[in-house]
Amino acid sequence: MPTLYHHPMSSASRFVRLILTEYGYQTDLIEEQTWEKRRDFLALNPAGTLPVYVDDSMRALCGAAVISEYLDETHGVLKRDRRLLAEDPFQRAEIRRLTEWFMQKMETDVTKPLARERVYKLQMTADQGGGAPDSKILRTARANIRQHMKYLTWLAGSRQWLAGDRMSYADLAAASAVSILDYLGEIDWSEAPVVKDWYQRLKSRPSFRPLLTERVRGLTPVSHYADLDF
């Protein structure tokens, strides 16, 4: 069976996991602590980043963008109305633009610094960069949440789904990032009712169930994290 190297607080890993589950594709999951720089993992991906997908022939695909394109070409094209990347070239471009926004810009501005300061550093040794969270980094990331939630509010309020009339990679990428922030209790949902309605639709899908039942060692999620009617 194919294998996915991931971390539960990696939005890129969550994105790929959602795609795989939406397409009904089963994989073995291996949680990887990238800061440990394991030799076997670096042999698969010298960049040392997640996620990494290894197929039945032991061929490794590295990075969410590469894996998602591969899955579309090998599985998505057979799904017709359930395809997560549109057939129209302009619509595909919009889906890719938004997917990149959430997987790169939001990741850099918000998701990655909060996950590192609040989760990863608790699991790292001092030599690996672990220790107390940096309050300045936390303040900056939290301030950035508001801007991204405003953009999400506009997208969710002006379209049926973020990139158009059908659910797509854009929705899964955004939901992957939002789900991590929600786990950490970083979102004030009273300020983003439109985003909350959109997220509830994603959160209620069967593909989301494995994410909602997962727990990070030593860090309990907010009480409403797994509640579909929060």
Residue 15 and residue 65: Cα distance in Å, rounded?
A: 10
Q: How wide is the angle at C-alpha 146 spanned by C-alphas 214 and 197, nearest 5°?
A: 60
Start-end of H helices in the chain = 11-22, 39-44, 64-74, 89-100, 106, 112-115, 121-123, 135-158, 169-183, 193-203, 209-213
User: pLDDT, tens digit, for every residue of 158-197?
Assistant: 999 999 999 999 999 999 999 999 999 999 999 999 999 9
In which band, very low, low, confident or very high, does the pLDDT at 102 lie, cut at 50, 70 and 90? very high
Residue 29 and residue 49: Cα distance in Å, rounded?
A: 15
In which band, very low, low, confident or very high, does the pLDDT at 131 lie, cut at 50, 70 and 90? very high
Q: 13 pLDDT exceeds 90?
A: yes
β-sheet with 28-31: strand ranges across: 28-31, 3-6, 52-54, 60-62
Integer angstrom CA distances of residue 1 from 15, 28, 55, 56, 226: 20, 7, 7, 6, 28
User: Strand 52-54 to strand 60-62: parallel, antiparallel, or no bridges (unpaired)?
Assistant: antiparallel
Amino acid at 91: Q
User: pLDDT, tens digit, for every residue of 50-89?
Assistant: 999 999 999 999 999 999 999 999 988 888 888 999 999 9
Can you give the pLDDT at residue 99?
98
Q: 141 pLDDT exceeds 90?
A: yes
Q: 142 pLDDT exceeds 90?
A: yes
Residue 11 and residue 104: Cα distance in Å, rounded?
A: 10
Can you give the pLDDT at residue 218?
87
Residue 117 and residue 132: Cα distance in Å, rounded?
A: 8
Enumerate domains of the chain plus CATH numbers: 1-80 (3.40.30.10), 87-204 (1.20.1050.10)
DSSP secondary structure code for residue 5 in this structure: E
Return the structure tokens found at 201. 């639709």
In which band, very low, low, confident or very high, does the pLDDT at 202 lie, cut at 50, 70 and 90? very high
Residue at token pair 């009617």: 229
Can you give the pLDDT at residue 80?
82
Can you give the pLDDT at residue 230?
87
pTM, full prediction: 0.97
What is the percent of the chain where pLDDT is above 90? 94
